Amino acid sequence: NAGVMQNPRHLVRRRGQEARLRCSPMKGHSHVYWYRQLPEEGLKFMVYLQKENIIDESGMPKERFSAEFPKEGPSILRIQQVVRGDSAAYFCASSRTGGGSTDTQYFGPGTRLTVL
Protein backbone atom coordinates (compact mmCIF):
# COMPACT_ATOMS: atom_id res chain seq x y z
CA ASN A 1 0.00 0.00 0.00
CA ALA A 2 2.42 2.62 -1.27
CA GLY A 3 1.91 6.17 -0.21
CA VAL A 4 2.53 9.28 -2.25
CA MET A 5 5.83 8.99 -4.12
CA GLN A 6 8.00 11.90 -5.05
CA ASN A 7 11.26 11.98 -6.97
CA PRO A 8 13.88 13.04 -6.88
CA ARG A 9 14.18 13.54 -3.13
CA HIS A 10 16.98 16.03 -3.61
CA LEU A 11 17.65 18.15 -6.67
CA VAL A 12 20.48 20.60 -7.23
CA ARG A 13 20.29 23.06 -10.08
CA ARG A 14 22.33 26.05 -11.17
CA ARG A 15 20.62 29.34 -11.78
CA GLY A 16 18.92 29.38 -15.17
CA GLN A 17 18.44 25.62 -15.41
CA GLU A 18 15.13 23.78 -15.36
CA ALA A 19 13.83 21.70 -12.47
CA ARG A 20 11.30 18.90 -12.95
CA LEU A 21 9.65 17.41 -9.88
CA ARG A 22 7.55 14.27 -10.09
CA CYS A 23 4.70 13.02 -7.96
CA SER A 24 2.81 9.74 -8.09
CA PRO A 25 -0.37 9.83 -5.97
CA MET A 26 -1.56 7.08 -3.72
CA LYS A 27 -3.36 4.22 -5.43
CA GLY A 28 -6.96 5.15 -6.05
CA HIS A 29 -6.32 8.88 -5.70
CA SER A 30 -6.98 11.12 -8.66
CA HIS A 31 -6.53 14.51 -7.02
CA VAL A 32 -3.06 16.03 -6.64
CA TYR A 33 -1.91 19.15 -4.84
CA TRP A 34 1.50 20.83 -4.79
CA TYR A 35 2.76 22.85 -1.84
CA ARG A 36 6.01 24.71 -1.26
CA GLN A 37 7.77 25.18 2.05
CA LEU A 38 10.36 27.91 2.35
CA PRO A 39 12.80 27.78 5.27
CA GLU A 40 11.16 28.56 8.63
CA GLU A 41 7.75 28.78 6.98
CA GLY A 42 4.63 26.67 6.76
CA LEU A 43 3.54 24.93 3.58
CA LYS A 44 1.98 27.18 0.95
CA PHE A 45 -0.56 25.90 -1.56
CA MET A 46 0.53 26.17 -5.17
CA VAL A 47 -1.74 24.20 -7.46
CA TYR A 48 -4.53 21.60 -7.50
CA LEU A 49 -4.89 19.17 -10.39
CA GLN A 50 -7.05 16.30 -11.45
CA LYS A 51 -6.19 13.99 -14.30
CA GLU A 52 -5.50 16.19 -17.36
CA ASN A 53 -6.99 19.26 -15.69
CA ILE A 54 -5.63 22.15 -13.66
CA ILE A 55 -8.40 23.03 -11.23
CA ASP A 56 -6.73 25.87 -9.32
CA GLU A 57 -3.30 27.36 -9.82
CA SER A 58 -3.88 30.49 -7.77
CA GLY A 59 -0.85 29.79 -5.59
CA MET A 60 1.57 29.36 -8.46
CA PRO A 61 3.96 32.16 -9.41
CA LYS A 62 2.80 33.61 -12.71
CA GLU A 63 6.08 33.06 -14.50
CA ARG A 64 8.44 30.10 -14.85
CA PHE A 65 6.23 27.63 -12.95
CA SER A 66 3.90 25.11 -14.54
CA ALA A 67 2.22 21.88 -13.52
CA GLU A 68 0.55 19.00 -15.25
CA PHE A 69 -1.11 15.71 -14.38
CA PRO A 70 -1.37 13.67 -17.57
CA LYS A 71 -3.74 10.81 -18.16
CA GLU A 72 -0.86 8.40 -17.78
CA GLY A 73 2.09 8.91 -15.50
CA PRO A 74 2.97 11.13 -12.59
CA SER A 75 2.16 14.75 -11.96
CA ILE A 76 5.01 17.08 -12.92
CA LEU A 77 5.89 20.43 -11.41
CA ARG A 78 8.24 22.29 -13.72
CA ILE A 79 10.29 25.32 -12.82
CA GLN A 80 12.07 27.01 -15.70
CA GLN A 81 15.11 29.25 -15.35
CA VAL A 82 15.44 28.61 -11.64
CA VAL A 83 16.64 31.34 -9.29
CA ARG A 84 18.05 31.08 -5.77
CA GLY A 85 14.69 32.06 -4.30
CA ASP A 86 13.20 28.86 -5.69
CA SER A 87 15.24 26.85 -3.19
CA ALA A 88 12.66 25.16 -0.99
CA ALA A 89 11.00 21.87 -0.18
CA TYR A 90 8.22 20.99 -2.60
CA PHE A 91 5.55 18.64 -1.32
CA CYS A 92 2.94 16.79 -3.26
CA ALA A 93 -0.28 15.55 -1.68
CA SER A 94 -3.09 13.43 -3.01
CA SER A 95 -6.66 12.66 -2.06
CA ARG A 96 -9.32 10.26 -3.28
CA THR A 97 -11.83 13.02 -3.85
CA GLY A 98 -11.34 16.74 -4.01
CA GLY A 99 -11.74 19.08 -1.13
CA GLY A 100 -9.55 19.91 1.80
CA SER A 101 -12.63 20.03 3.95
CA THR A 102 -14.10 16.75 2.78
CA ASP A 103 -11.19 14.45 2.16
CA THR A 104 -7.81 14.06 3.82
CA GLN A 105 -4.74 15.00 1.83
CA TYR A 106 -1.80 12.62 2.20
CA PHE A 107 1.65 14.00 1.61
CA GLY A 108 4.72 12.63 -0.05
CA PRO A 109 8.26 12.93 1.38
CA GLY A 110 9.01 16.06 -0.63
CA THR A 111 11.67 17.17 -3.08
CA ARG A 112 14.32 19.48 -1.69
CA LEU A 113 15.43 21.83 -4.42
CA THR A 114 18.69 23.70 -4.03
CA VAL A 115 19.61 26.36 -6.55
CA LEU A 116 23.29 27.26 -6.66
Partner 1 sequence: DQQVKQNSPSLSVQEGRISILNCDYTNSMFDYFLWYKKYPAEGPTFLISISSIKDKNEDGRFTVFLNKSAKHLSLHIVPSQPGDSAVYFCASAAGYALNFGKGTSLLVTP
- Minimum separation from the CB atom of position 45 to partner 1 (A): 4
CA 100 from chain center: how many Å?
Answer: 16
- Minimum separation from the CB atom of position 106 to partner 1 (A): 6
The sheet that has 65-68: what strands, in order across it?
A: 5-7, 19-24, 75-79, 65-68
Q: CA 20, CA 49: separation in Å to the nearest integer?
A: 16
- Minimum separation from the CB atom of position 62 to partner 1 (A): 17
Q: CA 28, CA 41: separation in Å to the nearest integer?
A: 31
Nearer to partner 1 by C-beta: 91 or 115? 91
- Contacts with partner 1 by CB under 8 A lie at 4, 6, 31, 33, 35, 40-45, 48, 55-56, 58-59, 91, 98-102, 104-110, 112
The burial class, CB within 10 Å (0-12 / 13-18 / 19+), for 30 is: middle
Nearer to partner 1 by C-beta: 17 or 109? 109
Nearer to partner 1 by C-beta: 74 or 110? 110
Nearer to partner 1 by C-beta: 33 or 69? 33
